Structure 1
């Protein structure tokens, strides 16, 4: 797992700059909804070929609930273990899905989505939510995106 100050494992300067920009943007603000909102807006500005970016947050022990996001209206509640987000949250692992239609149990909140990446938000060893990014392009996300977004999530966590 990446730490908030470990930029050495990110292969491109763009993700290093993104994480530094996030840290600067959120420094001094303690409201988690404001910080999640700005984080989703920053990612929406950063990525090309995406149609949704945002967060689902743990609500109790068995369910995720929609948090701040950019994009079309989305599914409000996702049970743990269901869909890409619920699977990522239940396993505490990042998931890249090149073709969402091939993912067993995929929850289609936006029928335009073709690929997806989900990064768990880990705080004190517990999953507190997930970062979800969808694209209308197949095979949009790769391991570079995963490493970059895992570091982004680690920076974000210190502001939640």
Structure 2
């Protein structure tokens, strides 16, 4: 997708989510809605979901759209944990080249992970998006997904 088309689509999706997320204060419901909208509006999104930290320090899948996910991610391993530990969005053009990548589905080839922060600026989880194509995600995806995550009532 060319950059102008991608920007336009994200802008429309963002406006749609602003309205949809007003309908519930429940974070899980909002996460489900974000997953559904993103997965259905972007044809290169193979898998889209949230992994959340538990009080005992584990990272488990909460809500997602796409094929069956890893239910729990090994601590400090893979892209999702990198997003949590570095407290920043991680773009991965080729998952095979990411150290200690966790393969939940061998069809995934590229990935973007966006940390989710609570009101105290603590990371509580991540939005994880996978594609079956290499180099699917860029700075446009990172910027807009960060804006979308900021809409969550946490």
Given the two structures, how large is their TM-score scaled by the length of structure 1? 0.87
Give the 3-state SS of the residue equivalent to 1:18 in structure 2: helix
Aligned to 1:3: none
Aligned to 1:5: none
Q: Quick check: 1:89–1:130 contact (8 Å CA) kept in 2?
A: yes
Give the 3-state SS of the residue equivalent to 2:82 in structure 1: helix
Aligned to 1:146: 142
Displacement after TM superposition at 1:24 (Å): 0.5
Displacement after TM superposition at 1:123 (Å): 1.8
What RMSD over aligned residues (CA atoms) do the two structures have, in Å?
Answer: 1.5
Shift >3 Å, 4+ stretches = none
Given the two structures, how large is their TM-score scaled by the length of structure 2? 0.90
Aligned to 1:122: 117
Q: Mind listing any 5+ residue stretches in structure 1 that lack a counterpart? A: 1-10
1:71 maps to 2:66: yes
Cα distance in 2 for partners of 1:80, 1:42 equals: 29
Give the 3-state SS of the residue equivalent to 1:139 in structure 2: coil
Give the 3-state SS of the residue equivalent to 1:75 in structure 2: coil
Query: What is the aligned length?
Result: 148
Cα distance in 2 for partners of 1:87, 1:62 equals: 14
Displacement after TM superposition at 1:80 (Å): 4.1
* Residues 50-95 of structure 1: per-residue CA shift (max 9 Å, x gap): 2100100111253211011001111111244210001101111100
Q: Which has the higher contact order (CA 8 A, sep 6+)?
A: 1
Aligned to 2:132: 136
Of residues 1, 10, 22 in structure 2, which corresponds to 1:15? 10
Q: Mind listing any 5+ residue stretches in structure 2 that lack a counterpart? A: 1-5
